[in-house]
Structure 1
Amino acid sequence: MNIRTLKLAYFSPTGTTAAVVEAMAKGLDYDVVEDVDITMPEERQEPLQASAEDLLLVAVPVYGGRIPFLLEPWLRTLELDGTPVVCVVVYGNRAFEDALIELSDIVTERGGTVLGGAAFVGEHSFSSEEYPVAVDRPDADDLRSAEDFGRQVREAVDALDSIDDAPRPDIPGDRPYKERKPRGPVDFIQVDDGCVLCGICAEQCPVGAIDEKDLKHTDPDKCIMCCACIKVCPEHARSAKPGCPVEGFAKWLNENCAERKEPTYFF
């Protein structure tokens, strides 16, 4: 198949998904690459269009075994026309459950043809110094695997005469998908005296939950608990409140999900 443009669409509040996508793009090795980073709200205002001459790589983190609910409206505006697609999810070393098949189903509904899928591990959003979970992942081995996956996808695409000849990958997961657990607002962020009001947290929040005029307050109604504000704070002034649900789950993950899980591919 003759691919004109590689399109990279990804949501990456803490940078782990972006790192995996960058490594895959290196392995894919296309001359023309369009970067569609939908992490910030303004970037999710316009639908993405792709033709049969484009290769779309769409990558998202896993939240509770599903794709982030926040992204569903944007994903359902994808305008694909027989577009070959690779679906990727990044999870925090627990389980990706139904996220990959859910992403694959939406892409297919929007007119794409899924050529393959992959699940990679990234440092869990709730990971902390006290309760580390998959720290510093994706690491060098993960990124080499991502690059290798990209090369395998490129070889598969180059071997096809037509998208109609592409075998359908056996993407794991259940239908109906895992039920989302309802939750109300969670006020879990604390800010200590080390905060210098630099505003980086507000700049990096993917849902605008931190008001630039009130940087020490996080709106629990908007917050998606991605913990990007904690990860990016240069003064390490932001953290989860002791005894909050986030800290409790981080402790559980630290105790029960310590064994390293490796990337998996599906063609």
Structure 2
Amino acid sequence: MKLNSATSIYFSPTGTTKKVISSILKGMCISSNTTIDMTKPSIRNDLSPAIEGDIVIIGVPVYEEKIPEMLHEFLVSLEGNGKPVVLIAVYGNFGEGIALNELNDIAKNSGFSVVAAASFIGEHSFSTREVPVQEGRPDYYDLSIAESFGRSILEKMKKVENPNNMILKIPEGKLPLMAKILPKNSARIFTKTPVADMNICNHCGVCVKLCPMNIIEKDTLKIDNNKCIRCFCCVKRCPKSARKIIYRPKFIVSKMLAEKNKIKKTPRIFI
């Protein structure tokens, strides 16, 4: 099967998932790529979008060991029509959870043929300068693996006539005890809503524009705490560093993050 084009579908508030997918496409030598950016609320509201690429790449970050909840309705609306799909989960070095398994189930139920999958590591959304958690990832090594993965996909598809006959085994993920006990959106328990310091902020509007939940009030720059998913896009992409990530309780969360950061995990490839 010859691949001339691709459709990449991703959610990437801080850009980590997007970087991984871009490197995979580079390895596949595909220049014709249609992007469906689920980070934008307007895109997620448009269900069952047209998918025209010869191959599809779906990438999501792992939130609380799973696919981000706000993506489910959009993802299940996709119509695969037998197209080959590559599944990508990006997590912050804690645990992969069951995000890849969830993606696999959704893709199959939507009529895609899953031909490859992988989990990559990105800088954790809670990472700060004082408490860095895999800062700068995906790094050069990660992206080189992603590019090599893309080349492997290309070679695999050259030998395939009908992707619907392919069977890919993705190991069953695990939910740690904490993920089973904590309520949904537990990130709000461990971090405060990031408030803009008006002595630093220049009202450029970047945070309002980039917020994946569209919940930052334009004039006051206040965030609706009940809807905030703690992606901290507004913190990490603010050109003036007018917002900060504040843990609660600070000592316990800092210690937990430092512990999880001791071992640098590596990407896992399934092809």
Q: 188, 193, 196: which is aligned to 2:193?
A: 188
CA distance in structure 2 between the partners assigned to 1:204 and 1:164 by the alignment: 37
**SS of residue paired to 2:217:** coil
Number of matched pairs: 262
The CA deviation at 1:251 is: 4.0
Using a 3 Å threshold, how does the CA distance of structure 1 residues 244 and 19 change in structure 2: closer, same or farther? same
Using a 3 Å threshold, how does the CA distance of structure 1 residues 78 and 250 change in structure 2: closer, same or farther? farther
The CA deviation at 1:92 is: 0.3
CA distance in structure 2 between the partners assigned to 1:229 and 1:118 by the alignment: 28
The CA deviation at 1:174 is: 5.1
Q: 213, 216, 219: which is aligned to 1:210?
A: 216
Contact 1:26–1:150 (8 Å) recurs in 2: yes
Q: Does 1:229 align with 2:231?
A: no
Contact 2:23–2:144 (8 Å) recurs in 1: yes
Using a 3 Å threshold, how does the CA distance of structure 1 residues 171 and 29 change in structure 2: closer, same or farther? farther
- Written as runs of structure 1 = structure 2, the 5 A alignment for 1:93-172 is 93-172=93-172
Percentage identity across aligned positions? 35
Match of 2:206 in 1: 200
Q: Could you tell me which amino acid in structure 1 is paired with residue 156 of structure 2?
A: A
The CA deviation at 1:35 is: 1.4
- Per-residue Cα deviation, 1:49-103 (whole angstroms, up to 9, x for no partner): 337x721100000001101001001001101111111100000011111111111
CA distance in structure 2 between the partners assigned to 1:95 and 1:238 by the alignment: 27
Gaps of 5+ in 1: none
CA distance in structure 2 between the partners assigned to 1:34 and 1:247 by the alignment: 44
CA distance in structure 2 between the partners assigned to 1:208 and 1:78 by the alignment: 23
Match of 2:49 in 1: 48
Match of 1:266 in 2: 270
CA distance in structure 1 between the partners assigned to 2:80 and 2:158 by the alignment: 20
Name which of structure 1's ranges 156-165 and 113-122 shifts more when overlaid on structure 2.
156-165
Q: Could you tell me which amino acid in structure 2 is paired with residue 209 of structure 1?
A: I
**SS of residue paired to 1:96:** coil
Write 1 or 2 for the structure with the bigger share of strand. Answer: 1
- Written as runs of structure 1 = structure 2, the 5 A alignment for 1:26-41 is 26-41=26-41
CA distance in structure 2 between the partners assigned to 1:31 and 1:17 by the alignment: 18
Contact 1:17–1:59 (8 Å) recurs in 2: yes
Q: 216, 219, 228: which is aligned to 2:224?
A: 219
**SS of residue paired to 1:80:** coil
Using a 3 Å threshold, how does the CA distance of structure 1 residues 183 and 29 change in structure 2: closer, same or farther? closer
The CA deviation at 1:151 is: 0.6
Name which of structure 1's ranges 31-40 and 66-75 shifts more when overlaid on structure 2.
31-40
Contact 1:8–1:56 (8 Å) recurs in 2: yes
- Per-residue Cα deviation, 1:97-154 (whole angstroms, up to 9, x for no partner): 1111111111111111111110000000000011100000011111101000011111
Q: Does 1:61 align with 2:65?
A: no
